[in-house]
Amino acid sequence: MYRTSKVDSLKVDSSALSSVIQIGDSTCITAFSRAIAVQRQNELFYSNEGNFNSFPIFSFQLPIEPIVEPITIGSTSLHPLIKVGSIDIIGMSSAAVLHIGNSRHFQGESRTLHIRQLEHVDENNEKKVEQA
């Protein structure tokens, strides 16, 4: 059943990195985000950084368990209208979805690798960088 979505007020201050804002019905929503976040104690940047293929977390297949039990869903919509008063969102990021309506298929995936590199002094009084 198709329904109409009515939103009186919607405020989203920030939407980033494959976030989706959908008002109304949709057939398919796919939100996908990949990010490498490197934090260093000292500001040092290399031009060859950021290759997703260098990190296995971005290439392995997600284990999606098949649904093996029968699922029966019954719903009755007494009104053909979805009413929303007010929505106020500070921020959406990394494949977040705000959806007011019906969707046949939704797939969301966000993979973020955080790398922290801290400087320390070893027993020979030499500065070394280690990953935390």
In the chain, where the domains are located: 4-63+77-131
State the pTM of this model. 0.71
**pLDDT, position 132:** 55
Range with lowest mean pLDDT among 53-57, 68-72, 85-89, 116-120: 116-120
Nearest residue to 12 (alpha-carbon basis) of 85, 90, 124: 90
Nearest residue to 12 (alpha-carbon basis) of 96, 112, 83: 96
Instruction: State which amino acid sits at residue 108.
Output: G
* Averaged pLDDT, 102-130: 81
Q: Which residues contact 55 (CB under 8 A, 6 or more apart)?
A: 36, 113
- Residue 117 in tokens: 């590199």
